[in-house]
Amino acid sequence: MKKLAQTIAAAVAIACVPAAADETNIRMADGPELTTLVANCSGCHSLDYVQMNSRWVKRAGWEAEVKKMVTVMGAPVSPEDQAKLVEYLTREYGVPD
């Protein structure tokens, strides 16, 4: 997971966020979509937002949350990546329907 920590650290550095605390210790569940999560989400917020909002969310809930990040918060996430994020979040941080 060292690589992930470095990626997050890089994302934080790029965002020039002075408030960044020790979030490099955050360990997210592994999966083929993990790099998509880091690339699309961690520029604006630490990934513990995902962790603390688990586990009770069904697929529709994660779909709505990803959509909110795009349509309300302005995250530029491609439709393909949105689908990957929903897949990852539902599988690793959600509950079955």
Partner 1 sequence: MDRRSFVRGVAGGVALAGGQLLLPRALLGAGLPSGALESEELFALPGKQPLIKRSFRPPNFETPVAQFGDVLTPNDRFFVRWHLASIPEIDPRAWRLSVGGDAASAPLDLSLEQLQREFEQVEVVAVCQCSGNRRGFSDPHVFGVQWAYGAMGNARWKGVRLKDVLAKAGLAKDAVEIAFNGADSGALEATPDFVKSIPVWKALDENTLIAWEMNGEPLPHWNGAPARIVVPGWTATYWMKQVVSIQALKQPLANFWMAKAYRIPKGKFATVDRFTTQETAENTPITEIVVNSLITNVTDGQKVKAGAPLVVKGMAWDAGYGIRGVEVTVDGGRTWQAAELGPDGGRYSFRPWQFVIKPSRGRYTVSARASNGLGATQVDQLIFNPAGYNNNVVQRLGVEAV
Buried b (16+ CB within 10 A) or exposed e, 34-72: bebbbebbbeeebbeebeeeeeebebebbbebbeebbee
5 interacts with partner 1 by CB under 8 A: no
Compute how many other C-beta atoms are within 10 angstroms of the C-beta atom of residue 75: 18
From 73, 80, 96, 97, residue interacting with partner 1 (rule: CB under 8 A): 73
75 interacts with partner 1 by CB under 8 A: yes
From 5, 7, 31, 44, residue interacting with partner 1 (rule: CB under 8 A): 44
Interface residues with partner 1 (CB under 8 A) are 12, 15-23, 26, 43-46, 48-57, 61, 65, 72-76, 93
